[in-house]
């Protein structure tokens, strides 16, 4: 089997780190990318088959340099996982332009820049892109004017990727996680939000990082070779239902 290379952004912790480990389990090598150099290097050092690359995915020049460095080290890229993301929840009236831009820079601009820069390498391998959005991009809710809008845009951007890059044999899909107890989520999920999510999720619990990562790795694999342009929620059933009202539970 030819050695495959995945590039995972936001790989220093949370869903990105879990995804990197799952790629390793499947025999891939992984370029682990994050802007948090200290945390990234600390985790990557113990993971054979990985190399850490410090990069802020929202900075065009840094992204261009990243691809030079990754290709120099690994020689090819078979899958790009645009997972790096930030969350900032707040009412519309409190979301000033700088808060809005901070969310958009990473969550939307980063996905655009990374995929554009990866395209020449992905053409060579007929590779795959998986963008990480959120259930907040599928259903609008309070406090998510910037976050939810950025994720809805990522969902559409994925379809643009699939439409345009398909002729090169590049597949592009999107995973929408439900709530997972990562640092990102715990910073914005109050005890009330956690309880409300449990009520609204048919499986009645948060997901794990690996439960999201498994879907990502599948979409990057040959098993998904005819799947592109798809938006897949890994969310315990949240998006598909409205039956989770507390009054309707036993």
Q: CB under 8 Å to 100, separation ≥6 — which residues?
A: 145, 146
**The one segment of 11-19, 22-30, 96-104, 122-130 that binds ligand NAD by CB under 6 A:** 11-19
CB count within 10 Å of CB 111 equals 29
Stretch in the footprint of ligand NAD (CB under 6 A) among 24-32, 95-103, 175-183, 237-245: 175-183
Among 22, 52, 56, 162, binds ligand NAD (CB under 6 A): 56
Instruction: Determine the 3-state secondary structure of 11 from DSSP.
Output: coil
Q: Does 21 bind ligand NAD (CB under 6 A)?
A: no
The closest of 186, 100, 108 to 145, measured between CA atoms, is 100
From the CB of 169, what's the least distance to ligand NAD, in Å?
Answer: 26
- Please indicate whether residue 226 is annotated as part of the active site: no
x/- map, 145-174, ligand NAD, by CB under 6 A: ------------------------------
Angle ∠(44,178,29) on CA atoms, nearest 5 = 25
Angle between helices 145-165 and 110-125 (to 10 degrees): 20
- Residues in contact with ligand NAD, shown as a per-residue x/- string from 120 to 149 under the rule CB under 6 A: ------------x-x---------------
Q: Which stretch binds ligand NAD (CB under 6 A): 54-62, 89-97, 115-123, 219-227?
A: 54-62
For residue 203, which phi and psi values (nearest 5 degrees)? -75, -5
Contact status: 177 vs ligand NAD (CB under 6 A): yes
Q: Cα-Cα-Cα-Cα dihedral of 157, 163, 169, 171, to 10°?
A: 40
Residue 19: burial class (beta carbons within 10 Å; 0-12, 13-18, 19+): buried
The residue within the footprint of ligand NAD, chosen from 43, 185, 219, 231 (CB under 6 A), is 185
Asked if 35 is part of the footprint of ligand NAD (rule: CB under 6 A), the reply reads yes
Our CB check for ligand NAD shows the closer of 39 and 124 to be: 39
Q: CA 154, 149, 142, 101 torsion: positive or negative? A: positive
Site for ligand NAD, rule CB under 6 A: 9-10, 12-16, 34-36, 56-58, 83-87, 106, 110, 132, 134, 177, 179-180, 182-185
């Amino acid at each position: 089997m030819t050695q495959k290379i995945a590039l995972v952004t936001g790989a220093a912790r949370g869903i990105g780190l879990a995804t990197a480990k799952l790629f390793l389990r499947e025999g891939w090598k992984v370029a682990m990318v994050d802007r948090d150099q200290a945390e990234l290097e600390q985790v990557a050092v113990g993971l054979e088959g990985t190399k850490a690359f410090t990069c802020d995915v929202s900075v065009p020049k840094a992204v261009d340099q990243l691809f030079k460095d990754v290709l120099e080290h690994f020689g090819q890229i078979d899958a790009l996982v645009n997972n790096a993301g930030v969350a900032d929840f707040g009412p519309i009236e409190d979301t000033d332009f700088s808060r809005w831009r901070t969310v958009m820079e990473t969550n939307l601009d980063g996905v655009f820049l990374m995929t554009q820069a990866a395209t020449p390498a992905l053409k060579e391998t007929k590779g795959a892109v998986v963008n990480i959005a959120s259930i907040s991009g599928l259903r609008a809710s309070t406090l998510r004017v910037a976050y939810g809008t950025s994720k809805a845009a990522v969902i559409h951007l994925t379809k643009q990727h699939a439409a345009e890059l398909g002729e090169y044999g590049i597949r592009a899909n999107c995973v929408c996680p439900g709530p997972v107890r990562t640092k990102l989520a715990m910073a914005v999920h109050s005890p009330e939000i956690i309880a409300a999510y449990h009520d609204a999720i048919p499986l009645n619990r948060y997901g794990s990082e690996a439960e999201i990562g498994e879907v990502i790795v599948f979409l990057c694999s040959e098993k998904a070779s005819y799947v592109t342009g798809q938006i897949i929620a890994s969310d315990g059933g949240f998006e598909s239902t409205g039956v989770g009202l507390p009054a309707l539970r036993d």
